[in-house]
Each structure stands twice: as C-alpha cells, then as structure tokens.
Amino acid sequence: DGGITQSPKYLFRKEGQNVTLSCEQNLNHDAMYWYRQDPGQGLRLIYYSQIVNDFQKGDIAEGYSVSREKKESFPLTVTSAQKNPTAFYLCASTGTGDQPQHFGDGTRLSIL
C-alpha cells in the first residue's frame, strides 16, 4: 500500500543525546515536510524539502537537522541543542501542483 511510514512510534531521548526520526514514503512525492505539534497547539514547520539534495528551514529549525539523499526518505535529527524536544513529530509529503499534504502516523518524542 502507498503511504508515509514514520518510525519509531515512541522515542526517548537522554540529555545531550542526538536522536533521528525516520520518514519514508512510497508515493513518489517530490516534497516532504517535518512538523512539530505541542499539546493544544497547531503544527509548526521545522524543515521542508521540495527536491532531492535540497531542503529549507521552516519556522522552528533551530536544534534540528535533516537530509534528503533519496526521494523516498527525509530523516529528522533532533540534536542536543534542542532544549525542549518533547513533542509529537509529524512527517508529510505532497506531489506536484496544488495537491494537499498527507501525513504519516507520527513519532512521539519524550525526554528521559
């Protein structure tokens, strides 16, 4: 089935540790996005990529890094510089033109 797969579903980070969240899609979509959602709030854009080997910062990129080496994959690293990483992280993708974004099931990150 075509879709967006995020893993793991739950992730725990220790102080000073970098962690990487996986996002894979088999929809042949060009554009991929990472959002962060805090309780009771909407989604805020962290990074996005419209083409392989290219990505741009969103509104809250500090403390995060990404790569886009393959069209199917857009991993997000939460670095130790991100002091408040506890949140629900959502990956989305969309095709060309005016198509809507569709989301993966999300990764819930907590601090140990």
- The contact set with another protein (CB under 8 A) reads 31, 33, 35, 40-45, 48, 50, 56, 58, 90, 94, 98, 100-106
The residues that bridge with 57 in the sheet, in sequence order, are 47
Residue 17 identity (one-letter amino acid): Q
Closer by beta carbon to another protein, 31 or else 52:
31
Closer by beta carbon to another protein, 45 or else 52:
45
Sequence length of the chain is 112
Closer by beta carbon to another protein, 33 or else 72:
33
